[in-house]
Structure 1
Amino acid sequence: MARKRPKGVLEITWAVAESAAAGRKEHVPVGADYPDTVVRRISFAAGGGLGWKLSAIESPRAKPAPWKIVVVTGAPSWAEYWAPAIAALPLDREMVVVDRPGYAGSEPVDYVGDIRQQALALSPLLQARSGQKILLVGQSYGAAIATLMAAANPGRVAGLVLLSGYYGQPGPTAEWLLKVGARMLKIIPRDVRHAVLEVTNQAGQLEGMHAALRNLKVPVHVVHGDKDDFAPIELAEKLVAETRTRRPMRFERVIGANHFLNDGPAEDLLATLEGCIPRRWELKLNWPRWLDISQVPKLKARSSAPA
C-alpha cells in the first residue's frame, strides 16, 4: 500500500521544507512505495546544450507501448505526485513525468524563469520509440511550456492536453499564496520560492504560447475543473473561445474538480487522459435503407448445356 503524500499547498510547502532539511530531493522517494519495475526514477540531459541534468519518473516497459504520455508539471514541480497514476497505467500505455528545471532532483539550483528555455530543456522527453505516439500533457504552469514544446517539435507530438492550465491570472487562493510568498521569499524553501517567482512573472510570456497554439496542427484538449480556485476556469474558457487555431480545441469541464486533478483517484485521471487519445478509425459499410441486400433475389445460374 502506497503511503499518502501531502496534497494541499500548505502540506506540500511543509514537505518541501522537511525534504530540504533532510537533504532529500523528494518528500517520499517513489522507490519507498513502488518497485522500480512499476515506477522508476530516471535522469537525462537537458536539450539545447544547456548542460543540466534533469530528473523524472517513468513507467518501465519491456516493449514500446503504442502511446507515451509525457507530463510537464506545474509549480512547485514535483513529479512524485504523479506516481500513483503511473502505477495504475495499463501495460499498453507509458508515462514519464518530469521535475522541471530548478525543482526537486533537476538542475540547475537557480530559478529558470524563461518558459522558452524550459521548453528547450525538456525537449528530449519527446523522443518516441519506433511506432509510438506521444500525448503531451502540460499541467498548470506547465501548460504554456508544453505548448511551446509541441510547436517547436512538429511531428513528434500527436496530441496536446492543457490540464488545469495557468494563464497569467491567479484565482483567490493562489493570489493569497503569492502575496504571502512574495513577502517571505528569503526564508521559504527553494522550490516554493521558485514557484512564487515563476507564477508572478509568467503573464508577460504568454503571447508566445498563444502564437504557438494558433499554429499547432495536432488536436488540443483543454481540461479544467470547475472548482479550480488557483487557475480560474473562466480563463481556460476564454482561451478556447478567442484563440483561432488550425483545428478546433476541445474543452472539457470536470465537474466538482479543483486545480489538482492528480489529487483524486488515479483511475479518474487516467480515464480523462485516455479520452484525449483518438480511437482507431474503423471502416464501416452502411448500406442505404432502400437497398437491403438480403432481399435481393438470387440470380439463377445460366445453364451452359444445350437446350
Structure 2
Amino acid sequence: MTRKRPRGVWSMGWACIACAASGRTEHVPTADDYPDTIVRRVRIDAGGGLGWKLSAIVTPREKTAPWKVVVVTGAPSWAEYWAPALAALPQDREMIVVDRPGYAGSEPVEYVGDIRVQAKALAPLLKARPGQKVLLVGQSYGAAIASLMAEQNPGKVAALVLLSGYFGESGPTARWLIGLGSRLLRVIPRDLRHAVIEVSGQPAQLDHLRAALSRLRIPVHVIHGDKDDFAPIEIAERLVAQTRARRPIRFERVAGANHFLNDEPVGPLLAALEGCIPVRKPFRLRLPRLPAMSWFGAPQARA
C-alpha cells in the first residue's frame, strides 16, 4: 500500500521544509512506493543548448502507447505528486512528469524566471516514438509554459490542456502565502523561495502566453475547479473569453474541485485528461455514384 503524500498548501510547504532539512530532492521518493516497472525516475537533457539535466518520472512501457501525456507542473514543481496518477495509468497510455528547472532534482540550482527559457529547456519532453501523439498538460504555473512549448514546437503536440492554470492573479490563499513568503525569502527553502518569486513575476510575462494561445492551431482544453482559492476560476474564464484563438477553446468546470486536481483518487483526473484526447473518426471509402443504366446502356430517366 502506498503512503499518502502531503497535500494542500500547508502540508506541501511543511514537506518542502522537511525535505530541505534532510537533503533529499524528493519528499517521499517514488521508489519507496512503486517498483521501477510502474513509476521510474529518469534524467534527461534540457533543450535550448542550456546544458542542464532535468529530473522526471515516467511510466515504462514495453510497447509504444498511441498517446504520450507530458505534464509540466506548477510552483513549486514536484513531479512526485503525480506518482499515483502514473501508477493508475492504463497500459495504452504513457506519461512523463518533470521537475521544472530550478526545482527538486532538476538543474540549475538557481532560479529560472523567464517562461520562454523554461519552455525551451522542456522541449525534449515532447519527443515521441513513431506513430505516437502527445497530449501536453500544463498545471497551475506550468500552464503558461506548456502553451509556449506547444507554440514553439509545431507538429509535436496534438492537444494542449491547461489544468488549474495560474494566470497572474491570485486567490485569497495564494495572496496570503505569497505575501508571507516574500517577507521570509532569506530563510525559506529554495523550492518555496523560487515558487514565490515565480508567481510574483508572472504578470509581466502573460503577453507571451496570450500570443502563443492566439497562434495555436491544435485543440486547447481548460480544466479548472470551481473551488480553486489559489488560482480563481474566474481568471481562467476571462483569459479564454479574451483570447482570439484560431479555434474555440473548450472550458471544463469541475464542480467542488480545488487547485490540486491531481489529489487522490486520481480516477476523475485521468478521465478528464482522456476526454481531451481527440477521437479519430474511422476511415470510410466513398465511391462516386454512377447513373442507373437501362438494359441498352442508356441512362434511365428519373421521375
Same-fold status (TM-score > 0.5): yes
Query: Cα distance, 1:284 vs. partner?
Result: 7.8
Residue type of the alignment partner of 2:99 = D
Whether 2:124 is the aligned partner of 1:124: answer: yes
1:217 corresponds to:
217
| Distance across 2 between alignment mates of 1:230 and 1:160 | 22
Q: Residues 84 and 264 of structure 2 are in contact (CA less than 8 Å); yes or no, is this contact kept in structure 1? A: no
CA-to-partner distance for each residue in 1:109-162, whole Å, 9 max, x for gaps?
A: 111100000000000000000100000000000000000000000000000000
1:186 corresponds to:
186
1:175 corresponds to:
175
Query: Cα distance, 1:282 vs. partner?
Result: 3.1
1:166 corresponds to:
166
Whether 2:237 is the aligned partner of 1:237: answer: yes
Q: Residues 8 and 260 of structure 2 are in contact (CA less than 8 Å); yes or no, is this contact kept in structure 1? A: no
CA-to-partner distance for each residue in 1:166-188, whole Å, 9 max, x for gaps?
A: 00000010000000000000000
1:90 corresponds to:
90
SS at match of 1:101: coil
Residue type of the alignment partner of 1:229 = D
Which residues in structure 2 correspond to 1:134-283 (within 5 Å)? 134-282=134-282
Query: Cα distance, 1:242 vs. partner?
Result: 1.3
Which residues in structure 2 correspond to 1:4-153 (within 5 Å)? 4-153=4-153
| Distance across 2 between alignment mates of 1:248 and 1:121 | 29
Which entry has the higher C-alpha Rg, 1 or 2?
1
| Distance across 1 between alignment mates of 2:172 and 2:28 | 29
Query: Cα distance, 1:18 vs. partner?
Result: 1.0
Residue type of the alignment partner of 1:177 = L
Residue type of the alignment partner of 2:259 = H
Query: Cα distance, 1:13 vs. partner?
Result: 1.2
CA-to-partner distance for each residue in 1:237-268, whole Å, 9 max, x for gaps?
A: 11111111111000000000000000131111
SS at match of 2:248: coil
Q: Please report the RMSD computed on the Cα atoms of aligned residues, expressed in angstroms.
A: 1.2
CA-to-partner distance for each residue in 1:58-106, whole Å, 9 max, x for gaps?
A: 0000111000000000000000000000000000000000000000000
| Distance across 1 between alignment mates of 2:216 and 2:241 | 16
| Distance across 1 between alignment mates of 2:93 and 2:4 | 24
1:288 corresponds to:
none
Structure 1 residue ranges without an equivalent (≥5): 286-307
Query: Cα distance, 1:197 vs. partner?
Result: 0.2
| Distance across 1 between alignment mates of 2:280 and 2:126 | 22
SS at match of 1:130: coil
Number of matched residues?
A: 286
Query: Cα distance, 1:283 vs. partner?
Result: 5.6
Structure 2 residue ranges without an equivalent (≥5): 286-303
TM-score scaled by length of structure 1: 0.92
Query: Cα distance, 1:225 vs. partner?
Result: 0.3
Structure 1 vs Structure 2: percent identity of aligned residues? 71
Residue type of the alignment partner of 1:52 = W
| Distance across 1 between alignment mates of 2:242 and 2:13 | 35
SS at match of 2:228: coil
TM-score scaled by length of structure 2: 0.93
Residue type of the alignment partner of 1:166 = Y
CA-to-partner distance for each residue in 1:165-213, whole Å, 9 max, x for gaps?
A: 0000000100000000000000001000000000000000010110010
| Distance across 1 between alignment mates of 2:247 and 2:111 | 35
| Distance across 1 between alignment mates of 2:217 and 2:270 | 24
| Distance across 1 between alignment mates of 2:61 and 2:29 | 20
